[in-house]
Amino acid sequence: MKNIIRLSILLLICSTLFAYKFADDWGFFGHRRINRMAVFTLPPEMMVFYKKNIDYITEHAVDPDKRRYATKHEAHRHYIDIDHWGEPPFTEVPRNWTDCLMKYTDVFVVDDQNDTLLLFGNEVMTTDDAYFTLNGEDIKKITNKAEYKMPTNDYKDFFKKHIQSLYYEDEWILNCDILNEYLTTIGIKANCQSSFAIDRFSAYGILPYHLEKMQLRLMQAFQDKNANRILRLSAEFGHYIGDAHVPLHTTENYNGQMTNQVGIHGFWESRIPELFADKNYDYFVGAAEYIEDTNDYYWDVVLTSHSYLDSVFAIEKELSIYYPEDKQFCFEDRLESTIRTQCKEYAKAYSDRLEGQVETRMRNSIQAIGSAWFTAWVDAGQPDLSDLSDTYLTEAEKKELKETEESFNKGAIKGRQH
């Protein structure tokens, strides 16, 4: 029994340390503080509900991080490596989710000669408002034409129904009969023995598209007056909006690994707030505002975050020249363990040179979260929230939270630490 108790204590300590080490984004402290302060931006009609549930909104701000490695689809929602796709203002990336996924999804057919041919995809398609133009050697084999035009809207309808609907499947396997039925309507005959599609986009992040989805889900929860869903979606929505305000969530060089600045991710968004946010930052940002166009708004948040990257990297690189390594990194005791982290003096120098950048993005996050909640409520018809009963978690919700917590604590780390 004593050994079991010792093992339980050891696992608890390890779990806590793991949670601290991999609390990305704003860190657990930052996400909780941002969500909590967003409540105070709301009008009285919403405050009556959110204020009495402020502890839930605060504590569950970190739920998306806890399940980040429990499902392969979660991590991509926290970032977008927008610079992978070109240069600002990144016009190569459609702002609409279906248009984007359609552009960067390759659709293949395997013929009776066992040749795999690329039918649709960014490498073989160009588009205008009315038509997709298909070109390339594979298209010529399929259509006997050097290029082939097909109506944009027809393909978009087919894509949404039969390909985008496969998004959460492990493999995107298409039905040849359904594919051939569609191709016949646009005058193409394909010798299809099997067919599949590959998403080339999501691995580089889908953050702004996920924000739009969360906006609609929260609006629906308000319409249904479902207190549990309102709270859960509000807390998690706040997390993703907070992520969108972090410059390092918008680049392939997310942890300085491409510029010999490994560790800058946690330095900017966790270490600096940890040292200075509690006493020095002003969290009162004024009232939430209605967002007229949420798609434009969230893309502006992402692109604004990206615009800060030059200073994020350049200032740290310059400081690292003047500070010897033993002045950059120090050792601190945390939870019966010693960790290596940026020295307070070095962190202050970086924070000062950034001229309030971290505080500004935290404040912007608070304002944006409150405004997103407010907008969802207004779009839902401003339902009366004063009569919502006390909230509770269903058994299914309790089970899901327990499973994601266990997965997080087991250290199931896979892929990038974005």
Are 286 and 304 contained in the same domain?
yes
pLDDT per position as a tens digit, 155-197: 999 999 999 999 999 999 999 999 999 999 988 888 899 999 9
Are 260 and 376 contained in the same domain?
yes
Query: Does 298 score more than 90 pLDDT?
Result: yes
| Residue 355, H or E segment | none
pLDDT at res. 413: 32
Q: Which two tokens stand for residue 305?
A: 């975050």
pLDDT per position as a tens digit, 103-131: 999 999 999 889 999 999 999 998 888 99
Place of tokens 């960067």: 104
Question: What's at 138, amino acid-wise?
Answer: D
d(CA 138, CA 119): 7
d(CA 196, CA 267): 42
Residue 307, domain member (yes or no): yes
Q: pLDDT class for 36, splitting at 50, 70, 90? A: very high
Torsion of CA 385, 386, 387, 392, to 10 degrees: 70
Residue 9, domain member (yes or no): no
* Number of domains into which the chain is organized: 2
DSSP for 232-274, please give it.
HHHHHHHHHHHHHT-GGGSSS-TTSTTTT-TTHHHIIIIIHHH
Which of 172, 200, 228 terminates a domain? The answer is 200
Are 276 and 369 contained in the same domain?
yes
pLDDT, mean of residues 376-396: 83
Residue 133, domain member (yes or no): yes
* Full domain range(s) for residue 71: 19-88+205-410
Residue 126, domain member (yes or no): yes
Are 180 and 225 contained in the same domain?
no
Are 329 and 259 contained in the same domain?
yes
Which of 148, 167, 200 terminates a domain? The answer is 200
What 3-state class would DSSP assign to 196? strand
Which of 200, 219, 238 terminates a domain? The answer is 200
pLDDT at res. 19: 34
Query: Does 412 score more than 60 pLDDT?
Result: no
d(CA 341, CA 254): 18
Are 273 and 140 contained in the same domain?
no
pLDDT per position as a tens digit, 38-92: 999 999 999 999 999 999 999 999 999 988 877 889 999 999 999 999 999 999 9
Contact criterion met (CB below 8 Å) for 371 and 291: yes
- Higher-pLDDT residue of 268 and 27 is 268
Residue 191, domain member (yes or no): yes
Residue 47, domain member (yes or no): yes
Q: Where are the alpha helices (DSSP H) in 82-226?
A: 97-103, 137-143, 152-162, 176-185, 207-224
| Residue 109, H or E segment | strand 105-110
Are 168 and 237 contained in the same domain?
no
Are 353 and 241 contained in the same domain?
yes
Residue 2, domain member (yes or no): no
Closest CA to 302 of 344, 256, 361, 258: 361
SS3 content of the chain, % helix, strand, coil (to 5): 60, 10, 30
Query: Does 8 score more than 50 pLDDT?
Result: no
Residue 227, domain member (yes or no): yes
> What letter does residue 381 receive in the DSSP assignment?
T
Handedness of CA 265, 297, 280, 357 (dihedral sign): positive
pLDDT at res. 403: 57
Are 232 and 268 contained in the same domain?
yes
Are 43 and 169 contained in the same domain?
no
Are 70 and 126 contained in the same domain?
no
Q: Which two tokens stand for residue 148?
A: 């082939």
Domain CATH for 230: 1.10.575.10
Are 123 and 253 contained in the same domain?
no
